[in-house]
Amino acid sequence: MIKGKFIDNLPKVYGIYTGGFLAFIILMAVLEQAGVSAKAIGIAFVAFTVGIYAIIGWLSRTLQVDAYYVAGRQVPTVFNGMATAADWMSGASFVAMAGGIYFKGYGYMALLVGWTGGYVLVASLLAPYLRKFGCYTVPDFIGTRYGGNLARLSAVLVLTVASFTYVTAQINATGTIASVALDIPFQIAVYVGLASILMCSLLGGMRAVTWTQVAQYIVLIIAYLLPVFWISNKMGAGFFPHLMLADEVARIAELEGQFGFVKNSAADLATVPKGLAGITKAHSSVNGTNWGFISLAICMMAGTASLPHVMMRYFTTPSVKSARRSVAWSLLFIFLLYSTAPMLATLSKLSLIDPNLATGIIGKSITDVQAIDWYQNWNQANLMFVSDFNGNGTLELNEFFMGGKAVVLATPEIAGLPYVISGLVAAGGMAAAMSTADGLVLAIANALSHDLYYKIIDPKAETAKRLIVARVLLVLIGFAGATIAALEIQGILGSVIWAFDFAMSGLFFPLVLGVWWKRANAQGAVAGMLLGLAAGTWYLIHVRTGGTPIWGVTQLTFGIIGSLVSLVSMVVVSLLTKAPDAKTQAMVDEVRIPSGKTVLGKQH
């Protein structure tokens, strides 16, 4: 029922879906006015959207290998762009990024540049060529281009390390949202999140993930943009915040000058719950070194081009040309959210700190603030905290603390919007985290089932058996990710940045040089992947354990060290060993032109 007719009717199907979702929002708003409790609305939002994804997942079930791995290679350009945008924009983008900008200012905005600029590399260096190759997974490309199981295995290793680091962060994000929206403990909520994630991908693999991701993109973009436009209009900051926010940015700078950044004593800070941050940095001015900004942007860009869950989305388009165009559409859809994140951070902060606004709490008495409903809710969730350090009875700028991941989720309440918007934002955050987790879990499970199990362990396995193995692995990896997420080792944003660095360390140069340097051979690629990953990991541990940083490279940018080692070792080892044979060279030539047959067959 999905094939053929469904593809032709996509705009209509998703048009009806979007209309239905908007109607649902209005219905919830009416129910809120009628006196339905906030908690019930929050649950309804999350349950309704997750239910729809599960239905799409069920309808997209498949028993075919190419539908399971690459959605039958028939996803149209623009829809693949939407799916990629959802795949890409994770809990980190939706929930944590505005928070990072909120607390760390300009320095963290390197993430915006990095997470968009990377797509230029994807479009120009990799995506069209890998699509032409016709592979199912990224290690599939490495294994065939360089030849040999060792190269394939090394690629699987890097992919697993990077994607697994990433997926724990996403399950953490789904857990955070589920625990707030459904009012259940975090340790249980991560498994609720996991169950929702598996419902989308288990039966239909890539095909199911594709169509749920398009649905998730629609939910998350509405949920992100609507509150920002609403707050902007409510505050009188202008109808179109992106063009008219300069006054608000300047106003924050003025208020910062007025309040000043008072440094809290260590003893005072010790009373603040773990993981919460205060506003200690200027909102808009350049507050770090140029190199700090640039190095973070470089890592995020190279990481973007090396992360397999993004790359594999471009394997699903019908042609090389549409893969290339699809990258541009992806970035356009991503741009809609990323250009809004600083607006959200600005409006949220202004709502909170401007004494002229009804919602401002700085300068009010501490007991008044502690009596506010939303303060109590978020305080209970351990994501907000105020304390009267100087004992003057009023709340100062330095006496307010919030969790970075709470900024987006709490902003509608702080800015005094009806609760229905908070429910919508929770559903959006859930969609963002789920869509990325789906892509990641699938990337890992596919690499293990296709590259490790089918290509290396049992090349004679039948289709049914391959797909069962793929599904079992999917569940196992999901559970492993949820278990680690429940331990809360690293924050959402931190883990995601690490994932980019891992991917960049091990995969960036082996992938790029595979297309752009014919002389690159298997020995070089293996050296590049393994030494790059090892050097990156070593440097991360080195800095984490108090070692002196080299060239100002921090634990967030260790990919610089890893990828440099990867590049040098790959080039040196390649040149010292034999050039690839004529057959491999011809294969690279074939990859470089769009027309003609793919290198790997339709079913492999």
Partner 1 sequence: MSKQEKHWEKTKGLLFITLAIWFVFSIGIFFFGTEMEASSFKPFGYPLSYYMTCQGSLLAFVILIFWFAGRQEKIDEEFGYTEREDD
The site for partner 1 (CB under 8 A) is made up of 106, 109-110, 112-114, 116-117, 119-121, 123-125, 128, 242-247, 249-250, 284-286, 290, 293-294, 297-298, 301, 318-322, 324-325, 327-328, 331-332, 335, 338-339, 341-343, 589, 592-595
- Please, what is the minimum distance in Å from the beta carbon of residue 228 to partner 1? 13
Which residue number, 342 or 423, has a Cβ lying nearer to partner 1?
342
Least distance to partner 1 from the beta carbon of 286, Å? 4
Question: Closest distance between partner 1 and the C-beta of residue 446, in Å?
Answer: 25
Nearer to partner 1, 148 or 318 (CB): 318
Composition of the chain by helix, strand, coil, percent to 5: 75, 0, 25
Is the CB of 97 or the CB of 395 nearer to partner 1? 97
User: Nearest approach, Cβ of 267 to partner 1 (angstroms)?
Assistant: 35
Helix (H, G, I), strand (E, B) or coil at 91: helix
- Taking the CA atoms of residue 375, residue 192, residue 223 and residue 2 in that order, the dihedral angle to the nearest 10 degrees is -170
Only one residue has tokens 């996991």, namely 194
Q: Buried b vs exposed e over 422-447: b needs ≥16 C-beta within 10 Å? A: bbbbbbbbbbbbbbbbbbbbbbbbbb
Could you tell me which residues come within 8 angstroms of residue 52 by beta carbon, excluding any fewer than 6 positions away?
A: 17, 215
260: left (phi over 0), alpha (psi -120 to 50) or beta: left
Look up tokens 């660095």; give the residue. 501
Q: Of 54 and 299, which CB lies nearer to partner 1 in the complex structure?
A: 299
Nearest-CA neighbor of 136 among 200, 198, 207, 197? 207
Taking the complex as a whole, how short is the minimal distance between the CB of residue 345 and partner 1, in angstroms? 9
Nearer of residues 121 and 409 to partner 1, judged by Cβ: 121
Using alpha carbons, list the distances in angstroms from residue 588 to 142, 521, 584.
12, 12, 6
- Torsion angle (degrees, nearest 10) of CA 284, 290, 292, 296: 80
The answer for 388, left when phi > 0, alpha when psi is -120 to 50, beta otherwise, is beta
Q: Which of 293, 261, 297, 315 is nearest to 141 (CA)?
A: 315
Residue 117 CB, nearest approach to partner 1 (Å): 4
DSSP letter string over 5-17? HHHHTHHHHHHHH
8 Å CB contact between 490 and 497: no
Select 97 or 442, whichever has its Cβ closest to partner 1: 97
Sheet arrangement for strand 384-386: 276-278, 400-403, 384-386
* Gap between the Cα atoms of 12 and 173, Å rounded: 32
Q: Which is nearer to partner 1, 537 or 584 (CB)?
A: 584
Strand pairing class (400-403; 384-386): antiparallel
Q: Please identify, using beta-carbon distances, which residue of 121 and 520 lies nearer to partner 1.
A: 121
CB of 79 to partner 1, least distance (A): 13
Residue 45 or 94 having the CB closest to partner 1: 94
Q: Shortest approach of partner 1 to residue 431 CB, angstroms?
A: 22
Provide the minimum distance between the beta carbon of 114 and partner 1 in the complex, in angstroms, as a whole number: 8
Q: Which is nearer to partner 1, 148 or 594 (CB)?
A: 594
**Least distance in Å: CB of 324 to partner 1?**
5
